Amino acid sequence: MITKLTTILSFGIMIIKISFFIAIVTVLIPPYLQAQGQEILAKIGNKKITMADFTRIIGYNTEEEQKVIESNPKLKETILWQIIRSTVIADIAKKKGFDKKPEIKRLQNEMTENFYSSQFVKHSVITLTNKKGETDIYSSIDKKEMKKQKAEIEKKLQFTVENFLASMFLQKEILEKITINEDQVRAYYQDHSEVFIRIKHILIKVDAPASDEKKKKAKAKAEVILGKIKKGEDFSKLASEVSDDPGTKDKGGDLGFFFKGTMAPALEEAAFSLKPGEVSEVVETENGFHIIKMEEKKNAHREPYENIKDKIKNQVLEEMRKAALIEFIENALKNVQVEIHPELLNKPKKGQLDNIVSLIAQEPETDMVLIFVGNFLNE
């Protein structure tokens, strides 16, 4: 049986495209797909996902895409967990009567109509017609073959509808019920201020290119000045007398306020390590040798609140939604009995329920795989 199934897989019925229609990779496995006598990849309560189910679900794609998933055992397991996750969500949606809501029923009907006018169904009809070489498929196609093809179309429709139900449930019952008010946005703004410092410096300039001897003399001069500061001489007075920085010399060496990321790395590292009133050791940069004094350190923002409040609101809302989704899915999975056998997908060891949350957070190694939660976080 394993050899037979591996042969089937090697012909490449695999991988899912990122699109609303092909997103059926993460759908509920209907009972009619739970064939007996096949290898069971997973159990979700009393439901079973067999190898045949798995290959069918990921078999709506190009041969090239199928080869990618066939060569990636980790990706196979990720897809299997996606199916498990969506199965649980769809079950919850049905138990809560979400599928009976008028708006959801209307959207499902529209989806069904669009499905039957899709290229997939048209292709299926063309395939049947070509096999007989005639145009009237109802009279010329073998009834058994047509029945089989019709069943396959209905299975794919079921996948699409179930995936839609799970998607809309998360959207309507989890995400859209999360709101944020002005006070929360402003609190986030206040809690995420940055360190803002004002410093003074004395520069002993070294013009490039400079010999080692010139650098040595410049550093020695800076060391002498630092010694005077340590003995109590006024920093601002010394800066106005000996600094080689014409832009700050007349201001006692005052450089003004800085955020991180706006200064020369060596200068920034030394400056942000100081406390107000402290003086650094001699610091070398491409401009020469500096002595830094920390004048003031406070929390501030790069932009006024009014300028970025909408951006903050979207960011906070996204973080809240992400947390809510992960919490909901984690709790939902813990409330059902999940058994998974990824080793049947050429995985070296069995998956455990404890790994679910980390698998949710992982991104696949190819952008051809739909990450279910990501659909909503990116909206």
What are the pLDDT digits (tens) for 276-323?
Answer: 999 999 999 989 999 999 999 888 777 888 888 898 899 889 989 999
Structure tokens given for 138: 């109802």
What are the pLDDT digits (tens) for 253-286?
Answer: 999 888 888 888 999 999 999 999 999 999 999 8
What is the per-residue pLDDT for 105? 86
Q: Which of residues 275, 300, 325 is at a domain's end? A: 300
Residue with the bigger pLDDT between 282 and 133: it is: 282
**Which of 114-118, 143-147, 176-180 is the least confident region?**
143-147
Sequential DSSP letters for 200-265: EEEEEE-PSS--HHHHHHHHHHHHHHHHHHHTT--HHHHHHHH---TTTGGGTTEEEEE-TTSS-H
Rg value, the chain, Cα: 33
Strands (E), the chain: 40-44, 47-50, 194-205, 254-258, 283-285, 288-300, 338-340
What is the per-residue pLDDT for 193? 78
- Mean pLDDT for 359-378 is 37
In a domain, 189, yes or no: no
In a domain, 283, yes or no: yes
Provide the domain limits for residue 274: 194-300
Strand partners for 203: 290
In a domain, 206, yes or no: yes
What CA–CA distances, in Å, run from 290 to 201, 256, 267, 296, 308?
6, 15, 8, 18, 36
What is the per-residue pLDDT for 207? 85
Query: In terms of domains, do 332 and 293 share one?
Result: no
What are the pLDDT digits (tens) for 192-235?
Answer: 778 889 999 999 999 878 788 999 999 999 999 999 999 999 99
Residue 210 corresponds to which amino acid? A
Residue with the bigger pLDDT between 327 and 61: it is: 327
Query: In terms of domains, do 52 and 146 share one?
Result: yes
Q: Which of residues 276, 300, 324 is at a domain's end? A: 300
In a domain, 73, yes or no: yes
In a domain, 305, yes or no: no
pTM of the model: 0.54
Query: In terms of domains, do 71 and 150 share one?
Result: yes
What is the per-residue pLDDT for 225? 96
Query: In terms of domains, do 175 and 201 share one?
Result: no
Residue 104: phi and psi, rounded to 5, are: -70, -40
- Evaluate the omega torsion of the peptide bond into residue 209 and state whether it is cis, within 30 degrees of 0: yes
Q: Exposure pattern of 7-33 as b/e (b: 16+ CB <10 Å)?
A: eebeebbbbbbeeebbbbbbbbbbeeb
Q: Which of residues 243, 271, 300 is at a domain's end? A: 300
Query: In terms of domains, do 243 and 334 share one?
Result: no
Query: In terms of domains, do 174 and 322 share one?
Result: yes
In a domain, 87, yes or no: yes
- In this prediction, what percent of the chain has a pLDDT beyond 70? 73
In a domain, 310, yes or no: no
> How confident is the prediction for the chain on average, in pLDDT?
76
Residue 160: phi and psi, rounded to 5, are: -60, -45
Residue 180: phi and psi, rounded to 5, are: -140, 140
- The CATH number that applies at residue 221 is 3.10.50.40
Residue 107 confidence (pLDDT) above 60:
yes
Lay out the sheet containing 288-300: strands in order across: 254-258, 194-205, 288-300, 283-285
Query: In terms of domains, do 80 and 16 share one?
Result: yes
**CA distance linking residue 309 with residue 303, whole number of Å:** 10
Query: In terms of domains, do 211 and 126 share one?
Result: no
Q: How many domains does the chain have?
A: 2
**CA distance linking residue 370 with residue 26, whole number of Å:** 8
In a domain, 328, yes or no: yes
3-state secondary structure of 44: strand
What is the per-residue pLDDT for 377? 34
